[in-house]
A and B are shown apart, each in its own frame.
Chain A
Amino acid sequence: MTVRDERALRDLVKSDRVHRDFYTSPDVFDLEMERIFARAWLLVGHDSQVPNPGDFVTTTLCRHPVIMSRHRDGRVHVMFNRCSHRGAQICTEPRGNAKRFECPYHGWVYDTDGRHAGAPYPARYADGFLKAGGFDLAAVPRLAIYRGFVFASLGAEGPGLDDFLGPMKSHIDAMVDRAPGGEVEASAGAFRYRFGANWKIQMENQNDLYHPMFTHASTTARDGTQFRRHGAEDDEAGRVRLLKENEALNEQWEELPVGGHRYGHTYMGMFPMNKGQSGPVHERYRAAMEARYGDRAERAMAVRFHNSIFYPQWSIQYLTQHIRLMNPVSVDCTENVIIPLRLKGAPEEMWRAALRSNNNSHSPAGMVMSDDMEVWVRCQNALTSPGNDWVVFARGASEEQADNRGSFEVRGTSEANARHQHRAWLGYMCGEA
């Protein structure tokens, strides 16, 4: 099969199922890198990871090593971590503060905006050769920042960020507006993990309401309690509460809104298990929010989503307060970065509870993530076998009717969000996006 043939691509994605090659074919993966990941806007990180001039972090964007730095003029830059001379990675520290970046190979130096700042012993170059330019660190083709979220595109062509995000902008606002200071901060580091499964398996999982009671059965303890993913606790600072309402929960899944917007973005409503909050800490939070937002405080405080996926590469989880970057490594390997977000100006106790919630559910030992990763790997392993070529996404088939802007919303354990992602995938792969 040549996957560059449009018909072959369309044969992989049916309205209620996808072919196993969708997950296992290296050719499909290579084409995805070209037609999806070099076109969509990808999240590099948050600008609060580099608060001061000279601050930098090294990270991976899709499969490429990049540096995100803040130059002395305050602007954030993202450039490929590759010397313009002989191609060495110029920086391997995970983070730090630098006046300049110096390549270890022959000492070529670069300013923190990527500008080439000199090469040792320049006399042996032809007159004007170095000055003629072209030796700056290659910047990502497109860079844009929205409310501190640093986006890059690996392609010069493609939709602008405003168009790409569309209604999903409000899903970023929904996170950031919960901060009385009007900003979030990525100051607690990150978890990183890798699992042996295709990137799309995770995409399809994150809004899947059909799986929690099975995949995560073990987070229900023997006494029927389940730990709650909660951002702010009542009175006990940082305490992680256990929840006794797990049984009722299963009935309530079907009421939850799930939906999507153009370019394959999808979201899921807030879990019913997370009840309204009260107590002195919450009152302090409310006071801080009212001071900033006045009448709009109540709406800004409301946590409306469990998570939102910005197809194809990152998501926000709201109560747990983190962003998840999902970088494809190969057809059967994906690497995650989980970055907790602090709500600036909110009580310290809320941050402590959110951080602990992240540790408990989303560390490599996390009680939620570990079972998710286990099943994703099991999918990938089994999908290589012949005998059954199709993976079924027929739950709630055809319920989702997109409006004229490409948005839809349905409820509960429908597999509509995965189908929406599949249609967006076809659009990208067939050159329609």
Chain B
Amino acid sequence: MRDEIEKFLFREARLLDERRFEEWMNLFAEDGYYWVPAAPGLEDPYDGVSIFFDDRAVMKTRLQRLDHTRIHSQKPASRTVHTVSNVEIDGDYGAVGEILVRSAVTMLEYRLEKQTAFAGRCRHLLRIAEGGGFEIAWKRVDLINCDGVFETLSVPF
């Protein structure tokens, strides 16, 4: 199981690095969401602001925009490397068929002569999909600088 989960996470990271955003989105369940709070310890996305809080509909808008020919903030596009590590698996969390996976993520981003580092704690709630494999019920990334001062962000963590 660990091997399959790690492969899933590593592939997810690679899809983002290769800017295969639609494929990345399709890793999420239809009711899935992606959440990056803008404050530490936020328990409810409606208690405070979020850098990303995307259901599939918002995700689709956002990711289609990343492919738009006139997205100025991605001209030139960011190059990124996502590194996923410290994977821990908690099969007791959630419902039957759900697995909570904790990991650490770092993203290095290069754009316009500037390299920026991001790091955070990551939680995926994975569901075992019908045809085998996993889908993401939710993914939460707690950046260490979540309430800090940012410049423009475009690529998900």
**Pairwise interchain contact B151-A194, C-beta atoms closer than 8 A:** yes
B79 within 8 A of A: no
Complex Cα gap A355–B35 (Å):
14
**Pairwise interchain contact A371-B72, C-beta atoms closer than 8 A:** yes
B27 within 8 A of A: no
A130 within 8 A of B: no
- The digit string for A111-146, where 1 denotes a CB below 8 A from any CB of B, is 000000000000000000000000000000000000
Residues of B within 8 A of A10 (CB): none
B58 within 8 A of A: yes
Complex Cα gap A189–B47 (Å):
9
**Pairwise interchain contact B58-A219, C-beta atoms closer than 8 A:** no
- The digit string for B140-157, where 1 denotes a CB below 8 A from any CB of A, is 000000011111111000
Complex Cα gap A363–B53 (Å):
10
**Pairwise interchain contact A370-B61, C-beta atoms closer than 8 A:** no
Residues of B within 8 A of A369 (CB): 152
Q: Provided the pairs A189-B39, A192-B149, A373-B152 are in contact, do residues A359 and B61 lie with their beta carbons within 8 angstroms?
A: no
**Pairwise interchain contact B149-A189, C-beta atoms closer than 8 A:** no
Complex Cα gap A406–B67 (Å):
46
- The digit string for A187-217, where 1 denotes a CB below 8 A from any CB of B, is 0111111110000000000000000001101
Interface size on B, residues (CB 8 A): 33
- The digit string for B120-157, where 1 denotes a CB below 8 A from any CB of A, is 00000000000000000000000000011111111000
Closest to B53 in A: A359
**Pairwise interchain contact A189-B147, C-beta atoms closer than 8 A:** yes
B38 CB contact (under 8 Å) in A222, A363, A367: A363
Q: Which of B26-64 contact A (CB under 8 A)?
A: 36, 38-39, 46-53, 55, 57-58, 60-62, 64
Q: Provided the pairs A240-B57, A359-B52, A365-B52 are in contact, do residues A189 and B38 lie with their beta carbons within 8 angstroms?
A: yes
Residues of A within 8 A of B150 (CB): 191-194, 364
A3 within 8 A of B: no
Return B76 CB to nearest CB of chain A, in Å. Answer: 11
**Pairwise interchain contact B64-A222, C-beta atoms closer than 8 A:** yes
Complex Cα gap A365–B51 (Å):
6
A340 within 8 A of B: yes
B2 within 8 A of A: no
B65 within 8 A of A: yes
Complex Cα gap A281–B153 (Å):
33
**Pairwise interchain contact B151-A195, C-beta atoms closer than 8 A:** yes
**Pairwise interchain contact A218-B49, C-beta atoms closer than 8 A:** no
Residues of B within 8 A of A340 (CB): 49
**Pairwise interchain contact B152-A363, C-beta atoms closer than 8 A:** no
Residues of A within 8 A of B64 (CB): 221-222
Q: Which of A335-356 contact B (CB under 8 A)?
A: 335, 338, 340, 351-352, 355-356
Return B78 CB to nearest CB of chain A, in Å. Answer: 11
Return A412 CB to nearest CB of chain B, in Å. Answer: 22
Residues of A within 8 A of B70 (CB): 214, 217-218
**Pairwise interchain contact A191-B38, C-beta atoms closer than 8 A:** yes
**Residue among A188, A239, A352 with max Cβ neighbours from chain B (10 Å):** A188
Q: Provided the pairs A189-B38, A217-B68, A367-B65 are in contact, do residues A360 and B46 lie with their beta carbons within 8 angstroms?
A: no
Q: 9 smallest A-B Cβ distances: which pairs?
A: A364-B150, A218-B71, A218-B68, A365-B153, A217-B70, A374-B73, A370-B73, A370-B152, A189-B48
Footprint of A on B, CB under 8 Å? Answer: 36, 38-39, 46-53, 55, 57-58, 60-62, 64-65, 67-68, 70-73, 147-154
Known: A221-B65, A370-B152. 7 other contacts (CB 8 A): A188-B49, A190-B49, A191-B51, A217-B68, A222-B64, A363-B51, A365-B154
